[in-house]
Amino acid sequence: MSTDLRQTPLHTLHAELGARMVPFAGYSMPVQYPTGILAEHRWCRDSAALFDVSHMGQLQLRGEDAAAALESLLPQAIIGLELGKQRYAFFTNPQGGLLDDLMVTCRADHLFLVVNASRKAEDTQHLLTHIGHRCSVVPLPDQALLALQGPKAVLALARLNPSIATLTFMTGGDFELSGIACFVTRSGYTGEDGFEISVPAAQAETLARVLLDQAEVRPAGLGARDTLRLEAGLCLYGHDIDERTTPVEAGLAWAIQKVRRPGGARAGHYPGASVIEGQLNRGSAVKRVGLTGLERVPVREGCAIVDHQGHALGRVTSGTLGPTVHEPVAMAYLAANHAGWQHEVYAEVRGKRLPMRVTPMPFTPHRYQR
């Protein structure tokens, strides 16, 4: 493994727990622990899994103009976001493509942003370049980020602070956990109920050990995180979405509030607005869809999707054998006229055409606490 990889504050703990480490977004990250990806995936679905996501970027936007400034870079409604409310958002480019997706939470005196690890340097520069004159952009390199996910996550975390249970999905607040000041949101990337915990890096290992001492909690790595989010129908930046895909093509138009859509009071005035608004009105030529395999052979990223005559229809962006649904699942971009539910297409795998069916996502139901 390259020696120039960065380490999260939990690196020593990962080694102690026997994690297999891999390079990811410039960091040495645990892909799995000795129990394996399948067991970690199932533990998260049944109990509570602890993920180290400290490689993600955390930032603050400070100043009276911060909300309006941020709205100029994305199609979400940030002005008027209520205290403690969290919103899924995405930065767009002039072509309507997705520069990154992120989470925005309104705190008492600033906006709190969590961006993808692979894009945090670019996102920080993007913010500084375009709105740095309107608000303060404050990276938080001394904060770690833990994700506690699963139906028993609330039970485990509420032992440390019973008030945690008052949070609902996509809300956040300041909480002391084992005497450590943390900012906690009820959110995550698995489709399960759960929490993301921003904690001072110097105290992250202490908190992680306290959580892992609880019977409901076991560690999980990037491998399980990927299979969980895929079953939940959630996009991975750089794979299912990127700067060449628009929110409408990606099936993310639901995240654009009415006030920012054509005819809305604050419509437009963000990069790529004309392209995105055109697709909102007329539809897009391609769509991100879910696929389930009719044979028990996993279909991986990059596989071509064709019709029964072998004509190209699109490509797979993520795929696995779903540990919960017990069948091959994938996401793909297909020509819109082949993207209807139950439509049958074929994945080309090692010279064979495997039948797949267009299926609504998520593949397994979300269990958020609303």
CATH of the domain at 317: 2.40.30.110
In a domain, 70, yes or no: no
Distance CA 311, CA 313 (A): 6
In a domain, 346, yes or no: yes
Residue 219 belongs to domain spanning: 6-55+142-231
Check: CB of residue 90 under 8 Å from CB of residue 74: yes
Residues 42 and 152 in one domain: yes
- Among 287, 289, 306, 293, which Cα is nearest to 348's? 306
In a domain, 131, yes or no: no
Residues 146 and 49 in one domain: yes
Which pLDDT score, from 0 to 100, does residue 351 have?
87
User: Which of 187, 210, 231 is at the close of a domain?
Assistant: 231
pLDDT tens readout for residues 103-131: 999 999 999 999 999 999 999 999 999 99
User: Which of 231, 247, 264 is at the close of a domain?
Assistant: 231
Residues 189 and 338 in one domain: no
Residues 304 and 227 in one domain: no
In a domain, 354, yes or no: yes
In a domain, 266, yes or no: no
Q: What is the torsion angle, in degrees rounded to the nearest 10, for the CA atoms of residue 158, residue 159, residue 160 and residue 162? A: 40
Distance CA 195, CA 39 (A): 20
Check: CB of residue 283 under 8 Å from CB of residue 275: no
Residues 153 and 35 in one domain: yes
Which pLDDT score, from 0 to 100, does residue 3 have?
61
In sequence order, what are the beta bridge partners of 289? 332
Q: From first to last of its 370 residues, what are the pLDDT tens digits of the chain? A: 446 899 999 999 999 999 999 999 999 999 999 999 999 999 999 999 999 999 999 999 999 999 999 999 999 999 999 999 999 999 999 999 999 999 999 999 999 999 999 999 999 999 999 999 999 999 999 999 999 999 999 999 999 999 999 999 999 999 999 999 999 999 999 999 999 999 999 999 999 999 999 999 999 999 999 999 999 999 999 999 999 999 999 999 999 999 999 999 999 999 999 999 999 999 999 999 999 999 999 999 999 999 999 999 999 999 999 999 999 999 999 999 999 999 999 999 988 999 999 999 999 999 999 9
Distance CA 259, CA 257 (A): 6
Residues 191 and 315 in one domain: no
Residues 156 and 12 in one domain: yes
Residues 160 and 224 in one domain: yes
Residues 352 and 213 in one domain: no
In a domain, 278, yes or no: no
> Strands 27-32 and 6-7: what pairing?
parallel
Structural domain tally of the chain?
2
Phi first, then psi: give them for residue 156, nearest 5 degrees.
-70, -45
In sequence order, what are the beta bridge partners of 139? 59
Residues 175 and 28 in one domain: yes
In a domain, 355, yes or no: yes
CATH of the domain at 185: 3.30.1360.120
Check: CB of residue 296 under 8 Å from CB of residue 328: yes
